Amino acid sequence: MGMLENRVAIVTGASSGLGRAIAIRYASEGASVVLADLRDAPIEGGASTQELIEAAGGNVLALQADVSQWADVDRLVTTAVERFGRLDIMVNNAATYTGTNLLESTEEQWERVLRVNLSGMFFGCKRAVQQMLTQEPVNEVRGRIVNISSQHGMVASPGDFPYGVSKGGTVQLTRQISVEHARDLIVCNAVAPGKIVTGKPGAANDPQALDYSQRRTPWPRLGRPEDVAGAALFLASDMATFVTGVNLMVDGGWMAG
């Protein structure tokens, strides 16, 4: 029996990176997983998340969704429940960034990042809670929300002003929901990755940036998507029932140093 046997999970931004790793881990633990993204092809290359889960014998459904649009998020949750009967876990992972500071950020960039990263998370949480309130509890819990924040929700994100602000909002959004819906038996937590090496192109994999991150991280390696997936699994499982409202750092000790 897997840790998520007979559970139904939605993972946004599931085609690549952290969302891909979380979806694959959830499926390996027995969950039926609904993948939501604008694209199927992973940035890392290779087989799609859906193909990998199906090849391993997992139960999966892939849907195209733009989390910045309420209608898409509404359809996503409605379709997941029609297919699998309920929604146990909502992972709000989809995000975008600009790599611009305050003065460089245009109004359009600001609105786009906040629309995807923060409004998209608001939509995902709201629609998930609407569904979870209609469900009978399983092992004391009606449903679980896992939001992907960032260490840059805790400290400044130099050179990426809209992104840092959006992730700070993620942390507070998580706290608000955890308190407002605790009596409804809905668990809401966040995972805050530090430097995680993914296939994301651009500045994230610049050799100088990687060297700085390695020197700044106490653990002798940088993070992998699977490290974040392990934390997201814990928060989605019955082991974390009395854990709600936390922003779980997965950063190799960066914030402790």
CATH number, domain of 150, equals 3.40.50.720
In a domain, 135, yes or no: yes
Give the residue numbers spanning the domain of 108: 8-256
Q: Which of 26, 97, 163, 212 is catalytic?
A: 163
Q: In what order do the strands lie in the sheet with 59-64?
A: 59-64, 32-37, 8-12, 89-92, 143-148, 186-193, 247-250
Per-residue pLDDT of the chain (257 residues; tens, 9 = 90+): 899 999 999 999 999 999 999 999 999 999 999 999 999 999 989 999 999 999 999 999 999 999 999 999 999 999 999 999 999 999 999 999 999 999 999 999 999 999 999 999 999 999 999 999 999 999 999 999 999 999 999 999 889 999 999 999 999 999 999 999 999 999 999 999 999 998 766 666 778 889 989 999 999 999 999 999 999 999 999 999 999 999 999 999 999 98
What CA–CA distance (Å, rounded) separates 84 from 92? 19
CA atoms within 13 A of residue 224's CA, in its CB half-sphere: 6
Any domain includes 48: yes
CA angle 7, 96, 67 (to 5 degrees): 45
Note whether residue 2 is domain-resident. Answer: no
Q: How far apart are CA 112 and CA 141, in angstroms?
A: 34
* Residue 236 forms part of a structural domain: yes
Distance CA 211, CA 106 (A): 30
In a domain, 113, yes or no: yes
What pLDDT does residue 23 have?
98
Residue 212 known to be catalytic: no
| Phi (first) and psi of residue 57, to 5 degrees | 85, 15
Inside any domain, residue 3? no
Residues 6+ apart with CB under 8 A from 230: 25
CB distance 81 to 133 below 8 Å: no
Would 95 be classed as within a structural domain? yes
Number of independent structural domains in the chain = 1
Q: Is residue 217 part of a domain?
A: yes
